[in-house]
A and B are shown apart, each in its own frame.
Chain A
Amino acid sequence: MIQKKVCMVGAFATGKTSLVARFVKGIYADKYQTTVGVKIDKKLVETERFTMNMILWDIHGEDEFQNVRMSYLRGAAAYLLVIDGTRRATLDVALNLRAKVSENIGDIPFVGVISKCDLQAEWEITEQDIALLKEKKFDLVRTSAKTDVGIERCFLQLADKIMSGAPS
């Protein structure tokens, strides 16, 4: 069976852990609990065309005290780049992280995730921001781990990209 390493990358408190918890265990917790280091999980992704065992690396978020170590991304087949729709600053962090990954790991496939779409009324990420990301050829998925929107889709899209050998 195909087994691939997939990483979650983004600023702190963007919802990376919630995304994985919803995808793998179908659960959601409202309380924010910061990740230190990496949480490893796995999920079997089955489609008509392939079955893939995703080894998920939920990497701690980038913040003012800790930068994401690029060593964590070694061997990754792809990654989800997570942006918190309610915090504009997390978009800038995501763009910086994407550049760092390209420089250190290479142009591996990724999917941009804009999280917390259940709080869309509070979003600071504008339609203009989203249009600019699309101009940069970002594949974007709007998600909510709370209401289970877009979760399967972003992981399946990533799996498809891995299987098709799509560049980032």
Chain B
Amino acid sequence: MAKAVDLPDAIAHYLFTRATQRQDLAYLQVSPDGCILSSGGTLAKYGLETAKVGDAIDQHLLFLTGFFPHPPEQAVMPYIQTEQGAVIDVHFIVESGKQWILLFDTANELEKQQQFQQVANDAALLRQQLTKQIDAARGSP
């Protein structure tokens, strides 16, 4: 992992507030077998308002099925679009032997990314079609 930048408290506080307020952070500490040990943040945003200590996390967040008992020590999974319509960046981190899962709301970013990606992929498909037509016109296979 890259070394943390040594920031003055005021800047660290500003960045923390900005990140947590803009993206509705929720966090869960989980056991090695995927049971909730503690939680906090904007849990209701992710349908976790009824999640209790001891519950299996994949009962509440279906997309975490299969991750336990071997969760990644560190992983980021952006833009997970749930059945309920939430768009979540999921971060797995381990700190001092504790497994944490962080959830960030990234619905706004997804929209912009989707628009960009759509244009790029449409253009790539068009390019492939034109190449095919040119090859056919030239009589190549």
Contacts and interface: CB of A to CB of B under 8 A. Distances in A.
Given A39-B81, A42-B83, A75-B67, A34 B58 contact: no
A125 interface: no
Nearest to A64: B124
A32 B80 contact: no
A40 B128 contact: no
B41 interface: no
Interface string B99-123: 0000000000010011001101110
Contact of A65 (B68, B114, B120): B120
B124 A63 contact: yes
Interface string B53-73: 000001000111111101110
Given A63-B120, A87-B128, A89-B128, A75 B65 contact: yes
Given A63-B120, A65-B120, A36 B113 contact: yes
Contacts of A69: 77-78
A77 interface: yes
A38 B125 contact: no
B47 to A, nearest CB: 12
A44 B84 CA distance: 17
A57 B65 CA distance: 11
Contacts of A36: 79, 110, 113-114, 117
B72 A71 contact: yes
Interface residues of A, number: 32
A146 interface: no
A12 B124 CA distance: 10
A74 interface: yes
Contacts of B67: 74-75
A38 B78 CA distance: 8
B81 A55 contact: no
B20 interface: no
Given A37-B87, A39-B81, A57 B121 contact: no
B75 A74 contact: yes
Q: Give the 7 A-B CB pairs with smallest separation, nearest first.
A: A37-B79, A75-B66, A5-B66, A71-B75, A75-B67, A55-B65, A40-B63
Interface of A: 3-5, 12-13, 32-34, 36-42, 55, 57, 60-61, 63-66, 69, 71-72, 74-77, 87, 89
